[in-house]
Amino acid sequence: MADFSLVQDLEACVLSGGLSRRMGRDKALIPHPQGGCWLTRSIELSRKQGLAVHVVSSHSSHDLLASALDGVTCRSDPFPGKGPLAALSAVFGKTKALGLLVMPVDMPWLESTTLDQLIGVWRENPSVALVSHDGNRLQPLFAIYPNDSVYQTTMLLQLASDQLRMLDWLHQVPYQTLVLPEALLRNANCPADLTVLDE
């Protein structure tokens, strides 16, 4: 595990409140090939970096599972069904961390080395968001966002206008990009995606 003294300025936020309509079952609780389920795998990756973890969800089963784990705080999604930007508002401004490493529960191919890369590059310029890019498009749900007023105020104003798109918010705040392997940033959204999870 990473030396916590090196990462105390950064905390993780796992977004786990989606409705999983296309998957047909709760994605967070799907077994992961490396043990546990997708939710505990996401938590484990963050904890290996020495990060405290916030799990944002509106599902009581997620709360029950995650709250039993060391270093994890469960936060209720303040706007269930409104998407990831609304869910993020549960954490922004609620912690003293300088930055929030955000990751969705449905990127089961993420690896510790992927988090290493993102964190390492962010530390070179921690006042600016660092957003992953898979070579074709931005992946704003795997990113590090500064936990400061520029990002929080813009987020809250957008939500107040019922503008829920993450990319709309992102284009209003300073950010850099980091290109990472597309295979690691895939989202698993439907049952067919599960057939390649062991790749």
pLDDT of residue 17: 65
pLDDT of residue 60: 85
pLDDT of residue 117: 96
Low-confidence ranges of the chain (pLDDT < 50): 1-7, 198-199
**pTM of the full structure:** 0.88
pLDDT of residue 77: 87
Q: Which two tokens stand for residue 153?
A: 């105020």
Residues in CB range of 90: below 8 A, 6 or more apart: 54, 56, 75, 76, 77, 78
Q: Cα separation of 68 and 72, whole Å?
A: 8
What's CA 5's distance to the chain center, in Å? 22
Q: Cα separation of 176 and 61, whole Å?
A: 35
pLDDT of residue 58: 82
Report the topology of domain 4-196.
Spore Coat Polysaccharide Biosynthesis Protein SpsA; Chain A (3.90.550)
Domain positions in the chain are: 4-196
pLDDT of residue 6: 45
